[in-house]
Amino acid sequence: MTEFEFLGELSVLISLPKPENAVTIAVSSRVLFRTEKEQKVFEQKGIEEYLRYQVEHENEPFAPGPAFPFVKALETVNNRLRELYPDSEELFDIVLVTYNHAHVGIRLINTINYHNLFIERFCMTGGSSPIGYLKAWHTNLYLSADAEKVQEALAEGIAAATMFMPEKQIEVSETQLRVAFDGDAVLFSDESERIFKAHGLDKFFEHERENENRLLDHGPLKGFLEVLGKLQKKFYAKGHRMDCPIRTYLVTARSAASSGIRALKTLRAWGLEMDEALFLAGAPKGPMLEKIRPHIYFDDQMFHVEGAVEMGAIAAHVPYGIAQKYPHKKSTNAGK
């Protein structure tokens, strides 16, 4: 038996889907686990002391990080999908991405086994950029603590976001994956946000009314919402719409009457169903996210990400669009 044949049989044995069939989620070790102490060792004492520290502590598992509940929820969805579609490879496939050298992987493997995570694919780059590997994995979403690498991934057309750890993390569902999205510059392009930044709120409302029948262009996370919707429909087809283990939310500062119709028409034209849509008309998003308790919330503005994190919600920043040049001011009433 060749090595390739052996690996193929091993993949079947442990039910790993082929990357081209799976929904691939690449997660940095720094967001899947709490590695702040190790990061300080690296920053203060350098790479050699960092590597030595990791080897000395390789039997000590890392604590869960901000992406941990999200990954556990993905595994819950996979279990339900396997029950309904035993032969299907349309599953979430999690790839652990780390800049670490290979011999540090022992501690990561020990941690994964300690927490009973099903992660068999690793990408340990020894300090090199992982972006090329992400493309080879057909990655649908990349989560990292490194904002520069997230921007690099977005530039390559890979949905990506920077995650942050809340000081107090609210409890999330163990039976349903909940994913919340901002609208502009996340699901949609930043076209409308550019109008607002350049000409103000009144011009923005006028622009949306005049263009309500013209679809918004896609944003960087549209593709991820599409694959979530595709998996949802597999549950619907088996009569599980009401107890579907995936639930999606649109949480936008757009106003419903004055600028919401264009967003909803765009989603409908794309064939995408959003389970819940909250149009907040400029109100803070944090309290709503505290009620939703998402496993992850995506927003292009750090102002909203910080507000969510302050409420204990798990949030991720999508550094895309015009808002990166014009930080949101607290007195403004139209961040989208």
Tens digits of residue pLDDT in 178-195: 999 999 999 999 888 888
Q: Which residues have a catalytic role annotated?
A: 182
In terms of pTM, does the model score above 0.85? yes
Give the domain ranges of the chain. 12-163, 177-325
pLDDT 10s digits, 44-87: 998 888 888 988 999 999 999 999 999 999 999 999 999 999 99
pLDDT band at 331 (very low <50, low <70, confident <90, very high): very low
Domain 12-163 sits in which CATH superfamily?
HAD superfamily/HAD-like (3.40.50.1000)
Look-up of token digits 């302050």: 310
Task: Judge whether 12-163 and 177-325 match in fold.
Answer: yes
Fold of 177-325: Rossmann fold (3.40.50)
pLDDT value, residue 4: 39
pLDDT value, residue 204: 83
